[in-house]
A and B are shown apart, each in its own frame.
Chain A
């Protein structure tokens, strides 16, 4: 399977989850996603599900607090002004969180499908314009740079007595100085790279050659099996609750 095929499959699955299918459609979508996970990722599917749970569980707790605990009604009950129940609110939040879980899990599955590749190799294999690939590579590189800049600025401000290691009111008051220090640190690093390091090492031209050198085929191999399956199943999922009476 190519990264393009995996991203296309992921896009269709996420679009189907967003379309808010009924119970039958949702069940089919879950089966389809599980099939994709088990066939394409095998054991690594558990990692994707765990990561999705880490993202969605706090969200579910927060939404439960607001909608079940505070509002006590589902949105459609509020709209109809018919008076609602906490049970219905819980069901609504549960359904929404289920869909969100599916969306995050699919995104993680697609990324983990190519866990053996480095980010550079993965981006190289994508069938995208060279400038888009370049922005993606530089963005990932700069996120790492920003993380280093945060560490450095944080330590420097602790050493200067501006911030403290533990949570404190001083950190809240001076938090903005950390943001400024991080930004200036990142800009200085970038300036140094663009002005001195990259011209000497010919980095941009090398990056272009690396990105252009990959075999960025649009769809190949298992893509030609998965894409028709997912598209066909998508039509069935969209129609499942509209034909054959209520579930």
Chain B
């Protein structure tokens, strides 16, 4: 399962998560964009769902190990990353063909991006909210803290505010992430994809 090209892909996915996620965290946007590498890893390994899941999981955690030095909140969302990798492996893999179609069929493309993004976002919100509420009291360093604060000001309970904020932000964030991953997937050379999916000699 972990051939040399796939190990390289894990590292590339981790580096992509880290670089874009860190920029977004520093400018305090109410989104995250820290799983584009995870979703792209899944797309590049489609249709092998098992390999896609494990490689995406590894990419997500490798990026957590590095990003934790910049964003001290991130390591506590390790379970969210596993959930994103799992949902992506189950759902996004099925959309890989549509995302790669030439010429681009805009109707199915948009529908798949929306469906995969919203599903991933809802799962991610549900898994993240207990961490946000019980570990940090709703206070996190990302721009979504503004949205939690807005709901709290409107009289919502902390748990409801964090859940509503998650359900509002995460689907938008994940739709954007699936879209960006799909566009990068379309731009990736076929030779690289063949190397990842093909029977390369395993290291172990």
Q: Which A residues form the contact surface with B (CB < 8 A)? A: 18, 55-56, 58-59, 62-63, 66-67, 70-71, 73-76, 78-79, 92-93, 96, 100, 103-104, 107-108, 111, 130-131, 134-136, 138-139, 141-143, 145-146, 150, 176, 179-180, 183-184, 186-188, 190-191, 194-195, 204, 208
Point out the residues of chain A lying under 8 angstroms from B149, CB to CB.
66-67, 70-71
Is B102 engaged at the interface, CB distance under 8 Å to the other chain?
no
Residues in B whose Cβ lies below 8 Å from that of A78: 152, 157-158
Cβ contact within 8 Å between A131 and B152: no
Contact B72 A183 (CB under 8 A): no
A190–B189 alpha-carbon span in the complex (Å): 12
Is A194 in contact with B184, judged by CB distance below 8 angstroms?
no
Q: Which listed residue (A62, A74, A145, A146) contacts B141, Cβ 8 A?
A: A62
Q: For the complex, give the distance between the alpha carbons of A16 and B141 in Å.
A: 20
Whether the pair A55, B72 counts as a contact (CB closer than 8 A) is yes
**B14 nearest in chain A by CB position:** A139
Find out whether the CB atom of A92 lies under 8 angstroms from the CB atom of B187: no
New A-B contacts (19) at CB < 8 Å, excluding given A131-B203, A176-B180: A75-B137, A79-B158, A135-B62, A139-B62, A142-B12, A143-B18, A143-B66, A150-B19, A179-B20, A180-B183, A183-B184, A183-B187, A186-B15, A187-B12, A190-B8, A190-B192, A191-B189, A194-B4, A195-B195
Is B145's CB within 8 Å of the partner chain A?
Answer: yes
* Distance, CA A104 to CA B135, complexed state (A): 16
**Chain B: interface residue total (CB-CB under 8 A):** 50
B183 and A138: CB pair below 8 A? no
Contacts A/B (CB < 8 Å), 10 sampled: A56-B72, A66-B146, A78-B152, A96-B136, A134-B203, A136-B62, A138-B11, A180-B184, A180-B187, A183-B16
Q: Of A93, A135, A180, A208, which contacts B11 at CB under 8 A?
A: A135
Complex contacts, B136 vs chain A, CB 8 Å:
96
Task: Tell whether, in the assembled complex, residue B69 and residue A104 are in contact, meaning their CB atoms are under 8 Å apart.
Answer: yes
Contacting pair A204 B4 (CB below 8 A): yes
Contact in complex: A59, B11 (CB < 8 Å): no
Please state if A107 and B68 are interface contacts (CB–CB under 8 Å).
yes
Which single residue of chain A is at the shortest CB-CB distance from B157?
A79
- CB of B88 to closest CB in A, whole Å: 18
A104 close to B187 (CB less than 8 A): no
> Nearest Cβ distance between residue A75 and chain B, in whole angstroms?
4
State A191–B200 Cα separation when bound (angstroms).
14
